[in-house]
Amino acid sequence: MMALGGWRPDGNNYDVIRSLARVELLTEFKDLVDAIVPYSAGAQQYVDDPNTTIDWTTRCHVSLLREASASCIESAAQLFNDNIHKDLDFWQYAPFNSTRFVQFCNVLKEKINAKRPERESLSRALGYVEKGEIKGALLSATEAHTATTETMIKKEIYGMETRLYDKLSSFLSSGLAPGASSTSSMLPVSSVPTGQAMNEIAHQHHHVNSGSGSSSSSSTTTTTSTAHDISSYGHPGTTIDLKDSTTWPHTSKGQTNDAAWASSFGVQKAPQTLQQIYDEWHYGWRSGPPLGDLERLYPQGKWRRGKQRDAVSQQVRSRRTIMEYLQNATDVEPLQNELYAHFAAVTDEQKKEVQRWPKIKSFLNENLRKRKDGHEARSQEMSKRRKKNTSTE
C-alpha cells in the first residue's frame, strides 16, 4: 500500500501530495490513525509524558509507528480518490470501510484540487530545468505564479460574494412569509424563530389568543399566527392550522379541491444548513406548513400550482433526496459534518463560508446522489440520451 500510495522502494517519498491534509488527519481525524495500530496511541502518550524516561530506540520506534500509521491512511485515501486498486482486501476492514474515512478522503481531495494548478506548473518547470531548457522553465514558473495569484483573487472574490449573499439573504428573509397576511409583523431575521422553535412558539401564540386580550396583543409583536382562512379555495367558513395537517382538507374527508389552498406557499429559497432543511420539512418555514406533510397528503405535486411550480418542484425534489439521509433529528449533525468535510471546511470561518444553498446543492449532487443504488447506470443512460439528442439536432 505504501508503494502504491507514492513511496520509492528505498523508502523515500517522491510525492507529498497525499500529505496535504496531514494537519487535519492528526487533529480532526486522529481516530483513523489510532485505528491502524490501536496500541500506538497509548504508546505515544507514554512517550510524550515528560515524567517518563524512555530510551531513544523505543522513542524512535513509536515515532515511526505513528508516522507509518498516518501514511497508511493517506495512501489509502489517495487510492480511494483515484478510484484504483479497489480489488484489494483491506477495503472491507475498518477504518477503510467507515464514513470517517470517506470524510477524510473528501478533505484530501479538496486540498489536492486547490493545489493542482500550482503543482502542475511547478512540476513542468522542474522538468525543463532538468533538461536544461531555461526558457521553458521560466514560462512554467510564470504559469505557477499566475495560478497562485488567480487562486488568491478567487478566494477574495468568493469572500466578497459570501458577505453580500449573507446580507441579501437577511434582507429577503425579513419580509413576509409566503402566504402570510399583509397585517403580519415584519421582523428582522435575527428575531424570527425558525424550525421546531417557530412551531412551538406559534402554537403557544394560538393558545394565548384564546385567553385575555392583553396577552394576545403582546404576543403578536413576536410571533405570527398559524391560523389560515381557506374560504376562497372552495371551503366556505373554514380555517385551518398550518402547523397541524389533521386540520387540512383532504379527499379522505370527502372534500374536493383539497390541495388548492396550498398553492400560495413555496419553499425556503436559500436554506443555509441541513438543520434548516430538516426543520422546514417537519415543522415548516416560518409560519408556513411543514413541507413533508404537504408532500405526504398531496403527492405528485398536487399542492404545487401557479407560475412558480417548476422552480418549486425542483427545490422540493432536492429536499426530498436530502431528507432520505435525515431520517431523524440525530442524523442532522453527522451529515452536516460530512458536508463540511466535503468542502474541507475545518475552522469556524470556513464552515460559515459553506453554509449556503449552492454549497448544499453541490454536496447533494457530488456526494449524496452518488450513494443511491443505480446512480451509475442512470448517469450512463442520461449521457447516452444527451449524446443521441445532440447528434440528431
- In the chain (393 residues long), the average pLDDT of successive 10-residue segments reads 52 63 89 88 83 83 88 89 86 90 89 62 56 67 66 69 69 50 34 40 38 35 62 76 86 72 84 93 89 88 74 88 92 93 90 91 90 70 66 55
- Residue written as grid cell 425556503: 268
CA distance linking residue 204 with residue 197, whole number of Å: 11
Quote the pLDDT of residue 198. 42
Contact 204, 225 (CB under 8 A): no
Planar angle of CA 308, 309, 312, nearest 5 degrees = 85
Length of the chain: 393
Quote the pLDDT of residue 3. 53
CA distance linking residue 153 with residue 141, whole number of Å: 18
Range 223-226, long-range pairs (CB < 8 A, 24+ positions): 223/193, 224/177, 224/180, 224/184, 224/185, 224/286, 224/287, 225/184, 225/287, 226/202, 226/287
Please, which residues have CB within 8 angstroms of residue 110's CB and are 6 or more apart in sequence? 342, 343, 344
pTM over 0.85: no
The crossing angle, in degrees rounded to 10, of helices 195-209 and 274-283 is 40
Quote the pLDDT of residue 196. 43
CA distance linking residue 227 with residue 220, whole number of Å: 13
Quote the pLDDT of residue 291. 92
The DSSP annotation for 186-209 comes to ---GGGS--HHHHHHHHHHHHHHH
Contact 76, 25 (CB under 8 A): no
- Residue written as grid cell 500500500: 1
Strands 227-229 and 239-241: antiparallel
Quote the pLDDT of residue 290. 92
Q: Show the beta-strand stretches assigned E in the chain.
A: 227-229, 239-241
